[in-house]
Amino acid sequence: MGENGLQSDIPIKRLLQINLEDWVTFIFPGQSQVNLKDMQSDMVSRIKNESLMDNVKWLNRNTIVHLEPMGYKDERLPSRMLRYRSDIWEYTSGKKRGYPSIKQAVIFFFKKHDNKIHHLVDDTFDYSYKVIRVWEIDDTEIINKKLIGLYPLLPLVKHKKKMSNVKVIESAIKTINTVSDPVCKADLLAVMSILAAEKYSRDLIKMYVRRDMVMESALLDEWVSDFVEEAEQKVREEIATTLLHEGQSPEYVAKIVKFPVDKIKKLADDIKE
């Protein structure tokens, strides 16, 4: 993701999976009920490839909700969100479900990732989506409503009471410890520690989130596994780029780095450009 991105945006994507209903309740208040249902598995390929399937749901059978958590800065975000909306409608119309209402929201966890452009307009066109900036949320909005899925955000939100960094972390852990399900609690602590480490001292986080507290977190295991795979992919891409610069054929490079030939050819084209 580069210097302006999270070490990996996998944790924030997984965060929404813990209790997505809480996120929908918070972002789109006033719903008489929040009944979420998965889209069918044959959703358009571009959305699958962007790992958005888990955050695109039917809401109460007649509306689609699409949440986009951002762990990096993307100047193309508005056009990307518009493309996702088009992709979703292409899918629903093809399934004879017409063009249902789509509630879209982007969630920024850190100021450095907000490109501040969320409205596209010209003479005949006006498009925008809801924007959630975590640092603007009051901690009481999460705690008083017992929005468990948002508990990992507590070190990043606004606090009405003046608190030291230590007190912020202690308060967040105390709130998460009210969750009775041990697996859910471990997942919440794991994501909280990853996010909080972006803002606070890693040593501080380690003082309060011990290894035994997150041992039951399948989410943490998945994040570590995905992060290792992500790192390996990056190394292989760097090797492929070096070999292509040296004049090696795409077929030879694909065999060395174990990538599809088509991917290496695209990389070669990018280098030429």
pLDDT digits (tens, 9 = 90+) for 177-215: 999 998 888 889 888 888 898 899 888 888 887 766 665
Q: 126: exposed, middle or buried (C-beta count within 10 Å: 0-12, 13-18, 19+)? A: exposed
- Find where tokens 């809801």 sit: 130
pLDDT at 257: 85
Q: Would you state the structure tokens that stand for residue 166, as one six-digit string?
A: 């230590």
Question: 182: Cβ–Cβ under 8 A, 6 or more apart, which residues?
Answer: 216
pLDDT in tens, 55-100: 889 999 889 999 999 988 999 999 999 999 998 998 899 889 899 9
Query: Comparing C-alpha atoms, which of 115, 151, 159 is closest to residue 135?
Result: 159
Q: Would you state the structure tokens that stand for residue 89, as one six-digit string?
A: 């409608």
CA 205 to chain CA centroid, nearest Å: 21
- What is the H or E stretch that residue 101 is in? strand 101-108
pLDDT at 3: 47
Residue 268 has pLDDT above 80, yes or no: yes
Query: Treating both helix axes as pointing N-terminal to C-terminal, what angle do 10-18 and 182-196 enclose, rounded to 10 degrees?
Result: 150
- Find where tokens 């918070």 sit: 26
Cα separation, 166 vs 205, in Å, equals 9
Neighbouring C-beta atoms of residue 9, cutoff 10 Å: 18
pLDDT at 45: 59
Q: Would you state the structure tokens that stand for residue 194, as one six-digit string?
A: 């990853």
pLDDT at 225: 55
Averaged pLDDT for residues 232-248 = 85
pLDDT at 256: 86
